[in-house]
């Protein structure tokens, strides 16, 4: 289930300079390079839609594994 979610998240973020990974029970998305305004807007919109939380002092947006289920994976990623 987590692997499928990771694949879908990577597809949604394709074209943006981000890394999608897993750490300590969380799926996270980290920016890997500077983004222009259009790219950053897409990044933040997708993170919000998928339920990722962004820490102002951290460089990652993350989502707890508990928030992932098969029903919301496809419906949320298809909107991108």
How many domains are there within the chain?
1
Q: What is the distance between the alpha carbons of residues 55 and 6, in angstroms, rounded to a whole number?
A: 20
* pLDDT at res. 28: 87
- Asked whether residue 45 is domain-assigned, the answer is yes
Q: Domain of 28?
A: 2-71
Q: What is the pLDDT of residue 77?
A: 44
Residue 66's pLDDT is what?
Answer: 66
User: Has residue 8 been placed in a domain?
Assistant: yes
Q: Judging by beta carbons within 10 Å of its beta carbon (0-12, 13-18, 19+), is residue 31 exposed, middle or buried?
A: middle
User: Is 76 inside a domain boundary?
Assistant: no
- The residue among 78, 79, 53, 69 whose CA lies nearest residue 5 is 69
- 77 inside domain: no
Tens place of pLDDT per residue across the chain (80 aa): 778 888 888 999 999 999 998 888 888 888 899 999 999 999 989 888 888 887 665 567 777 766 555 444 444 444 44
Is residue 36 included in any domain, yes or no? yes
Instruction: Please tell me whether the overall predicted TM-score, pTM, comes out greater than 0.85 for this model.
Output: no
Q: Is residue 31 part of a domain?
A: yes
pLDDT of residue 42: 92
Asked whether residue 79 is domain-assigned, the answer is no
């Amino acid at each position: 289930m987590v692997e499928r979610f990771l694949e879908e998240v990577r597809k949604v973020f394709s074209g943006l300079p981000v890394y999608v990974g897993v750490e300590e029970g969380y799926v996270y998305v980290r920016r890997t390079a500077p983004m222009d305004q259009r790219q950053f807007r897409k990044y933040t919109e997708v993170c919000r839609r998928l339920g990722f939380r962004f820490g102002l002092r951290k460089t990652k947006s993350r989502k707890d594994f508990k928030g992932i289920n098969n029903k919301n994976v496809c419906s949320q990623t298809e909107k991108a």
